[in-house]
Amino acid sequence: MGYYDGDDYNQPKKQKGNRGGAFIAGLLGAVLGALLILFTVPALSDFGVVPEVAPEPEEESGVGNQGVVTKDISIDVTNDITSAVENAGKAVVGVINLQKTDFWAEDYGEAGAGSGVIYKKEGKQAFVVTNNHVVEGAGQIEISLNAETRVPAELVGTDPLMDLAVLKIPSESVTTVAEFGDSDTLKPGEPAIAIGNPLGFLEGTVTQGIISNPERSFPVDTDQNGTIDWNADVIQTDASINPGNSGGALINISGQLVGINSMKIAQSSVEGIGFSIPINIAAPIISDLESYGEVRRPEIGIGTKSLSEIPTYHWSESLKLPKDIDYGVVVMSVFPTSSADQAGLKELDVITAMDGNEIKNSIELRKFLYTKKKIGDSVKLTIYREGTKEEVDLKLAQQQRS
């Protein structure tokens, strides 16, 4: 019986008399082969030759059940936006409007919620600015500093015209106050970050966008009677502003407060249009509310109606206006002992200018007074009386609250 040595098929057949020698040779070959494997495999491993045996998975951090190896790498995600939010985020709080459910109820229930911004800490008190409509009708007000801490708030003052209100809270839990920025320097396209309390319970929500328009004028009906009372100068942004964000902060990339979020156009076809009250306009209102509980504004002492609201028939027949005068403010009444009364203004006088600035309607008259004049200032009115152009000087008094 013969055998093959490797792949060589041309070896001669061994004789039967050599069977013993073949057995010994085979035995020695097996022993030598075993010894060769024993000493050679570790040496091959040292030279990078991997035996065909599945190795155990290398133990590293992050090894899961599937054998996926992840490195323990710490990534720094700090950027300008996170830094801005870190600077201002804790100054933004929730504002809870509590009202009685009915006249006979003893307890107050949550009637609504919005946002507010802590802008000042002084001794044992801190001050919060929010929207007037957030706290309107409240029997009690609470401030939510975080998910675990609520404190009672005292209403200091409100201004429906500008939709602002100031509240006062204990300062012991207040750690951060907002820094006012300069809203007059805002540019279209620069980053804008809104922080607030959307839906009344998602405290500290941050949304990012841009300044869409820093000087948008928006008509406002403050008394909800269907007549526009005021053209509010607002910042338009596409940062997401949802119900509950009212009264919250609009900050710039430096974390400075540049606006108080006030409203959003809520239509199904409209997306990314929100508005904020510029902080440069809000600041003097906030100061007055904090100091006096109201906004002290100058007034002339008249009841008015825009000429555009008067039928054109009366322009020439009743008011006797020249044909080239198609704008102005009609004096409908003069308050007794007022500045207007003392200066001799009369009913049906038509005001067309103030200090040489054209006044087209009642909104422009009010805006000129509130933004360009102070209590005690003098103003020169250009009027038409019975078709004759005249000028009247008067000294502005403090507006009397109705």
Q: Does residue 180 register a pLDDT over 50?
A: yes
Whether domain 298-398 has CATH 3.20.20.70? no
Cα–Cα distance between 329 and 208 in angstroms, integer?
43
The span from the CA of 254 to the CA of 359, in Å, is: 39
Domain boundaries, the chain: 76-296, 298-398
Q: Supply angle C-alpha 228, 210, 281, rounded to 5.
A: 45
CATH topology of domain 76-296: Thrombin, subunit H (2.40.10)
Assess whether 246 carries a catalytic annotation: yes
Closest CA to 302 of 333, 265, 348: 333
φ and ψ of 266, to 5 deg: -100, 85
Higher pLDDT, 100 or 25: 100
Q: How far is CA 58 from CA 65, 73, 74, 113, in A?
A: 13, 18, 21, 55
Tokens of 252: 């710039």
Encode pLDDT of 311-358 as tens digits: 999 999 999 999 999 999 999 999 999 999 999 999 999 999 999 999
Is there a catalytic annotation at residue 133? yes
163 is known as an active-site residue: yes
What residue type is 138 in one-letter code? A
- Whether 165 and 130 have beta carbons less than 8 Å apart is answered as yes
Q: Which two structure tokens, joined as six digits, stand for 12? A: 């001669």
Q: Is-above-0.85 flag for pTM?
A: no
Same fold, 76-296 and 298-398: no
| φ/ψ bin of 180: left (φ > 0), alpha (ψ from -120 to 50), beta (otherwise) | beta
| Torsion sign, CA atoms 267, 273, 274, 279 | negative
Catalytic residue, candidates 246, 262, 276, 362: 246
Please identify which of the residues 159, 163, 233, 349 carries the catalytic annotation: 163
**pLDDT tens digits, one per residue of 387-400:** 999 999 999 999 88
